[in-house]
Amino acid sequence: MGSQEFHDLANVTQAMIWKGVAAVTRARIDIAHTRLLREETRELRLQAQDARARADAQAVRAAYSAERAQLAAEWVARVAARPPFRA
């Protein structure tokens, strides 16, 4: 192998090494980006769960309030329907 052939082989090898380094760097960036997206997705999912829980709690409170209002209305109707109390 002559000197020129050796240098050509070294250049090709070096170019392949740098392509590998670039590929690994891109892969690391992609992995980091994927992790960031996963974390953002997790946060959004937790926010959605919290919103659903708050909405469910509000719905329960509203139903409870409506039930109490209904019971109060029934009580008022019963009291109004009773004959007057005579002492």
- Taking CA 32 as the corner, what is the angle to CA 27 and CA 34, rounded to the nearest 5 degrees? 90
Structural domain count, the chain: 1
Residue 7 belongs to some domain of the structure:
yes
Residue 58 belongs to some domain of the structure:
yes
Residue 9 belongs to some domain of the structure:
yes
Contacts 24+ apart (CB under 8 A), 14-22: none
In angstroms, the CA 56 to CA 36 distance is 30
In which domain, by residue range, is 25 found?
Answer: 1-81
- Residue 86 C-alpha from the chain's centroid: 66
pLDDT in tens, 6-58: 898 999 999 999 999 999 999 999 999 999 999 999 999 999 999 999 998 89
In angstroms, the CA 9 to CA 25 distance is 24
87 has pLDDT over 70? no
pTM flag (> 0.85):
no
Here the tokens at position 24 are: 């690994």
